[in-house]
A and B are shown apart, each in its own frame.
Chain A
């Protein structure tokens, strides 16, 4: 994003608290509460690893979930029959380099870096990348309208899949 980051430290701290709380929900597998952070018109996207400059509407992505599809993804991940995540892996994520800007429409544009480690079967898989959010501020506090997760990994090897939520 080319927008100038805000100098409003209080705003940035509020966004950081939001992102850290979101990360805690994911690491705690509190998926319904996590899904509750998303606005009704939300979109959750993980672009292709080789071409993350492309428009997800017309390119192959790894994940492109509407609010409804994301709700289905959450339901699935809670099932014993989501075999890749039964039993659930342990994840631990670090979010940093948070930059906040106020968009022309009043929403918040947020960029942040992430490292998500996934532990299962005595293996460690590391997902590294950059988040780009659009957050809306409403009566219930901040909500996610858009969450794009640009992975830096060139190939999901040895990961094999992206079975967790980033």
Chain B
């Protein structure tokens, strides 16, 4: 009988030879129930995990209910203005106190025995309190909270590790790329989640979607029909050329975060007009660019509007500024199953035809009903099925290891895998400093790439 993966040793899960430029991952990392269990403790209990965006809980009392790292939580904008995160579990007998995905509430009342909690989490009332005697103190029964909750540019994260470094430090080189998204809302009341979400799933290990969401190599073979759609409605050669541009790069951003950064190969509502949008849209798409330039100057405006950035925030959040602006999480629900949720973002005051075009561009490529995402799902499931063939096989993630990594290379995936491999072995950080090859002409915050950010902290 084949040895279990933990018996065989966690060290061999990821094998790297920087001299020969080889990097491989044992496929048991993607199939093993033991690894799935270990991840809950070693990855999802120790990282910063995305909960939701400030725009989803704009008013006092607004809340969203989420499962974060397999644990039910509520993120609420308190009536005192403070944002809090509670475990969605009654301190009395444990029932979920909030049973709707989103809404506005002055309090949460557990339906089981009618204990009622305020938006500050304090126990406000319970039937026949006298029954508990004179030593009963409601203060002992406030809703429990994850130990850490912090925010960066409207994105709220929690951690179940009370000792974790600040979110700001954790984000390292990813901050610059979050800024490129968040700054698009300047002068528009900030960036906001578009109402409505895309909840779906995939019968594959969650790490396969991490890889896929920053994988430029698969773009042309898997998504040819998408580019044919665009091509049938106007010239697409410039767009496809962008995909292979010398300026298209993948970077490790420290702490496992990574990005692929490339000239936009998609029609974009800001500011890449394409005949598919129609002639009547041209003026508005150009105006949107003019507005960006007026606020941010031509150079930064061009980075926001004319580049695409698939930003990965370790371990499982993506900000994909691609055919649309997509926030995506994937949570493991088994070694071979994950749930995925996609949201769209837009400047908060965007409306009318511009917002409609933005959503259309998003939907054309992205999400379970898009012309592209279903084929990604098919690819990941095909991998998971293929993994059954051999229990000792490795997946190769070597591409571009011996050159300045292009978008179609895999430096960004290696960044993820090194961090994951360190954490699964209970080590502090993976070392991707050898692949932080950001060209001098890319205006990123270089201090974020210093070993302190990418190394131990």
By the criterion CB–CB under 8 Å, are B196 and A59 in contact? Answer: yes
CB distance from B198 to the nearest CB of A (A): 6
Cβ of B457 under 8 Å from chain A: no
User: 10 A-B Cβ contacts within 8 A?
Assistant: A48-B198, A50-B196, A57-B356, A60-B195, A62-B198, A62-B368, A72-B371, A79-B225, A81-B224, A83-B222
CA distance A159 to B232 in the complex (A): 29
1/0 per residue, CB under 8 A from A, across B377-420: the answer is 11101000000000000000000000000000000000000000
Q: Are B363 and A161 in contact (CB under 8 A)?
A: no
* Contact call A60/B378, Cβ cutoff below 8 A: no
Q: What's the Cα separation between A49 and B196 when bound, in Å?
A: 8
Given known pairs A84-B375, A84-B377, the reply for A160 and B196 (CB within 8 Å) is: no
Q: Is the Cβ of A162 less than 8 Å from the Cβ of B374?
A: yes
What 6 new A-B contacts, CB under 8 Å, besides A50-B199, A154-B199?
A56-B359, A58-B356, A63-B369, A82-B375, A155-B200, A156-B201
Q: Is B136 an interface residue (CB 8 A)?
A: no
Interface string of B171-214 (1 = CB under 8 A from A): 00000000000000000000000111111111100000000000
A57 with B355: in contact, given A75-B232, A81-B225, A84-B374 (CB under 8 Å)? Answer: yes
Question: Which A residues between 20 and 75 are near B, CB-CB below 8 angstroms?
Answer: 46-51, 54, 56-64, 66, 68-69, 72-73, 75
B362 CB to nearest chain A CB (Å): 7
State whether the Cβ of A157 lies closer than 8 Å to any Cβ in chain B.
yes
Q: Is the CB of A163 within 8 A of B374?
A: yes
Cα–Cα distance between A59 and B228 once the two chains are bound (Å): 27
Q: Answer whether residue B16 sits at the interface, using C-beta atoms and an 8 A cutoff.
A: no
CB-CB under 8 A from A69, the residues of chain B are 360, 364
Q: Are A76 and B381 in contact (CB under 8 A)?
A: no
Complex contacts, B355 vs chain A, CB 8 Å? 57-58
Given A54-B195, A81-B224: A161 in contact with B200 (beta carbons within 8 A)? yes
Write the A82-97 contact mask toward B (1 if CB under 8 angstroms, else 0). Answer: 1111000000000000
Q: Report if A158 contacts B (CB, 8 A).
A: yes
In the bound complex, do residue A76 and residue B229 qualify as a contact, i.e. CB atoms below 8 Å apart?
yes
Which chain B residues border A59 with CB–CB below 8 Å? 194-196, 359
For the complex of A and B, list the 4 residue pairs with the smallest distance between their C-beta atoms, beginning with the closest: A48-B196, A157-B201, A161-B374, A60-B196
Pick from A61, A81, A82, A160: contact of B363, CB under 8 Å: A61
- The answer on a CB contact under 8 Å between B368 and A160 is yes
B44 CB → nearest A CB, Å: 19
B138 CB–A CB distance under 8 Å: no
Least distance between B242 CB and chain A CB atoms (Å): 21
CA distance A58 to B362 in the complex (A): 13
Q: Which residues of B contact A48 (CB under 8 A)?
A: 195-198
User: Is A58 in contact with B195, judged by CB distance below 8 angstroms?
Assistant: yes
Give the Cβ gap from A63 to chain B, nearest Cβ, in Å: 4
State the A residues within 8 Å of B (CB).
46-51, 54, 56-64, 66, 68-69, 72-73, 75-76, 79, 81-85, 154-163
Closest to A85 in B: B374
Q: Does residue B101 face the partner (Cβ distance < 8 Å to A)? A: yes
- Chain B residues lying within 8 Å of A60, measured Cβ to Cβ, are 194-198, 343-344, 359, 362-363, 367
C-alpha spacing A154/B198, complex, angstroms: 10
Distance in angstroms between the alpha carbons of A83 and B379 in the assembled complex? 8
A28 to chain B minimum Cβ distance, whole angstroms, is 21
Q: Contact at A82–B225, with CB atoms within 8 Å? A: yes
Q: Which of B364, B368, B378 contacts A162 (CB 8 A)?
A: B368
Q: A63-B363, A76-B228, A156-B201 are in contact. Are A51 and B339 (CB under 8 A)?
A: no
Q: How close is A121's CB to chain B, nearest CB, in angstroms?
A: 8
Q: Which of B226, B233, B337, B369 gathers the greatest number of chain A CB atoms within 10 Å? A: B369
Query: B195: which A residues are within 8 A, CB to CB?
Result: 48, 51, 54, 58-60
In the assembled complex, which residues on chain A have CB atoms less than 8 Å from the CB atom of B222? 83
Closest A residue to B345 by beta carbon equals A60
Q: Determine if A160 and B225 form an interchain contact, defined as CB atoms under 8 angstroms apart.
A: no
Q: Is B55 an interface residue (CB 8 A)?
A: no
A-facing residues in B347-362 (Cβ within 8 Å): 351, 355-356, 359-360, 362
In this assembly, does B245 line the interface, its C-beta being within 8 Å of a C-beta of chain A? no
Taken together as a complex, chains A and B put the C-alpha atoms of A58 and B375 apart, in Å, by 26
* CB of B373 closer than 8 Å to a CB of A: yes
> Closest approach, in angstroms, between the C-beta of A21 and any C-beta of chain B?
24
Nearest B residue to A166 by beta-carbon distance?
B369
Contact call A72/B369, Cβ cutoff below 8 A: no
Residues of A near B368 (CB, < 8 A) are 62, 156, 159-162
